[in-house]
Amino acid sequence: MERRLPEVYMDGTNRELIERYLDCYNEKSVDRMLDLFAEDVVFESVSNTTGVIRTTGKEELRRLARRSVEYFEQRRQAPVSWVIDDTHVAVEIDYWCRLAQDLPDGHKAGAEMRLRGASFFTIQDGRIAKLVDYV
């Protein structure tokens, strides 16, 4: 039985923005995804196995996102719970992927991976200004 936490606060605009981001991410649609970000976006991915990856600006994020999609045959981020206010969204995420190629850490092409993480978004002027992922 999957445990679902209640949604603490609902703001349709911010939630819809993040739902569009998740759809684009899952579809590996990099250009559509990047349309949702501010030009000076800050992105950080914090992992207990690979450390911190940080980009500043939409073009750096574009390069990282384009490289990243090549690793996955399929990938999916599914929201588990949300906390939303006027300028921030926090989402607990179930992550699943099937690898398209071998990874440096030893995972092989075709392998499926499942992770639980959290993503923290800062929203400014209707765009994602900062995204920090923890996995």
pLDDT at 120: 98
- pLDDT at res. 12: 54
Regarding predicted confidence, which is higher, 115 or 49?
115
Of 52, 130, 134, the C-alpha closest to 92 is 134
Can you tell me the distance from the alpha carbon of 88 to that of 116, in angstroms, rounded to the nearest whole number? 20
pLDDT at 105 (0 to 100): 82
Residue 13, CA distances (Å) to 19, 37, 60, 93, 134 in order: 10, 15, 26, 19, 24
CATH of the domain spanning 12-134: 3.10.450.50
Q: Amino acid identity of 124?
A: Q
What are the backbone dihedrals phi and psi of residue 53, each rounded to the nearest 5 degrees, phi first?
-110, 130
- The mean per-residue pLDDT over the stretch 3-17 comes to 59
Q: What is the pLDDT of residue 49?
A: 73
Predicted pLDDT of residue 1: 42
> Mind listing the pLDDT tens digit for each residue in 61-95?
999 999 999 999 999 999 999 999 999 999 999 99
Mean pLDDT of 21-46: 96
For range 44-58, the mean pLDDT: 90
- What are the residue boundaries of the structural domains of the chain, listed by start? 12-134
Residue 93 vs residues 18, 59, 81, 85, 108: alpha-carbon distances, Å: 12, 25, 8, 18, 23
pLDDT tens string 97-110: 999 999 888 899 99
pLDDT category at 50 given cuts 50, 70, 90 is confident
Burial class (CB in 10 A: 0-12, 13-18, 19+), 52: exposed
Which residues have C-beta within 8 Å of that of residue 84, sequence separation ≥ 6? Answer: 7, 8, 9, 10, 11, 14, 15, 90
